[in-house]
């Protein structure tokens, strides 16, 4: 199958497209990805197409957000298949820069976001969110996008990017898109490809445990007891290690013990070679409905 998507690898070529669009008064959306695309990524592209006149999908496996060299080396790279998956969704440009374009030898800048990047995945993946913030800032500057689309699947990342964009007065609107899941609740992830058939059967236990925490919170139970039970449940299901299960205030990611406003239950756990993450919302009864 041939694709009509223009693939661009240099900043100059990208700017050529964007400058023309902006001159014509068209809005530009960007969907940053690391490739190995699945229906979760495609939901972001759909949201971007609905909202913006022009859509850029970026594809760059960002070495700065991997804290382990073996994890970076193993990350799936499937550019041609990605292009074919994207074609029916009609983005205007696939921007797939080289490592040298993104990080030339002389590169020496790091964007580091405090507060929301601490704890949760930040505690288990040192430097990860600095790498994310740095590459996303570069992608924003390169694409000059008006709107950027990120998945709630990586909820802490979404909050880090919201904070950074606000703090640095970057003129881009951040849109969060709900997590796309398999029928059994497993959040779609490029890392699900690492699971064996047996592990794939176990994997939905993470989502089930997080949902149980959310239900318990709504019933008025304390977070500490619910999360301790969830960790036991995830281990019991066959995960080999649980990095965390925590309840946080939805916007600030401040730890909370009781459900008062909108909260998120977030978890990360190891299943075989894969580190799976997921999160679900929890709303107090009075505020429940409509946002779930």
The residue annotated as part of the active site, out of 17, 41, 124, 128, is 41
Helix (H, G, I), strand (E, B) or coil at 243: strand
Stretch that binds ligand AMP, among 45-53, 80-88, 146-154, 200-208 (CB under 6 A): 146-154
Could you say which of 60, 150, 239, 283 contacts ligand AMP (CB under 6 A)? 150
Dig out the tokens for 237 from the structure.
Answer: 């299901």
Q: Is 109 exposed, middle or buried (0-12, 13-18, 19+ CB in 10 A)?
A: exposed
Rule CB under 6 A: say whether 29 interacts with ligand AMP. Answer: no
Number of residues that bind ligand AMP (CB under 6 A): 17
Alpha carbons 266 and 132: distance in angstroms, whole number: 19
Rule CB under 6 A: say whether 43 interacts with ligand AMP. Answer: yes
Task: Say whether 41 is catalytic.
Answer: yes
Shortest reach from residue 155's CB to ligand AMP, in Å: 8
- Among the residues of 24-60, which ranges form H helices? 39-51
Dig out the tokens for 31 from the structure.
Answer: 């969907």
Contacts with ligand AMP in 188-227 (CB under 6 A)? 188-190
* Bridge partners, residue 58, by sequence: 32, 95
The DSSP bridge pattern shows strands 54-59 and 28-33 to be parallel
Closest CB to ligand AMP among 5 and 226?
5
Binding residues for ligand AMP, rule: CB under 6 A, are 33-34, 40-41, 43-44, 150-151, 153-154, 177, 179-180, 187-190
Residues annotated as catalytic (active site), given as ranges: 41
């Amino acid at each position: 199958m041939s694709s009509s998507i223009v693939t661009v690898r240099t900043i100059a070529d990208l700017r050529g497209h964007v400058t023309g669009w902006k001159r014509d008064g068209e809005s530009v959306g960007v969907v940053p990805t690391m490739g190995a695309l699945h229906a979760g990524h495609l939901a972001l592209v759909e949201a971007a197409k609905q909202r913006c006149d022009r859509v850029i999908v970026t594809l760059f496996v960002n070495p700065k957000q991997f804290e382990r060299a073996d994890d970076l080396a193993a990350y799936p790279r499937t550019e041609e298949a990605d292009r074919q998956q994207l074609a029916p969704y009609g983005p205007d440009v696939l921007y797939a820069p080289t490592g040298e374009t993104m990080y030339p030898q002389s590169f020496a800048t790091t964007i580091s976001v405090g507060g929301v990047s601490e704890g949760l995945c930040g505690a288990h993946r040192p430097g990860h969110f600095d790498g994310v913030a740095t590459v996303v800032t570069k992608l924003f500057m390169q694409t000059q996008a008006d709107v950027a689309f990120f998945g709630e699947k990586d909820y802490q990342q979404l909050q880090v990017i919201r904070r950074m964009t606000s703090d640095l007065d970057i003129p881009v609107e951040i849109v969060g898109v709900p997590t796309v899941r398999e029928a059994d609740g497993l959040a779609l992830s490029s890392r699900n490809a690492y699971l064996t058939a047996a592990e794939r059967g176990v994997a939905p236990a993470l989502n089930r445990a997080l949902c149980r925490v959310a239900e318990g919170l709504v019933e008025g139970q304390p977070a500490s007891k619910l999360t301790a039970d969830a960790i036991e449940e995830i281990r019991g299901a066959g995960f080999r290690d649980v990095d965390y299960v925590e309840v946080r205030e939805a916007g600030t990611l401040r730890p909370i013990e009781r459900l008062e406003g909108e909260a998120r239950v977030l978890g990360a756990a190891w299943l075989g070679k894969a580190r799976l993450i997921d999160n679900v919302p929890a709303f107090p009864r009075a505020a429940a409905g409509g946002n779930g």
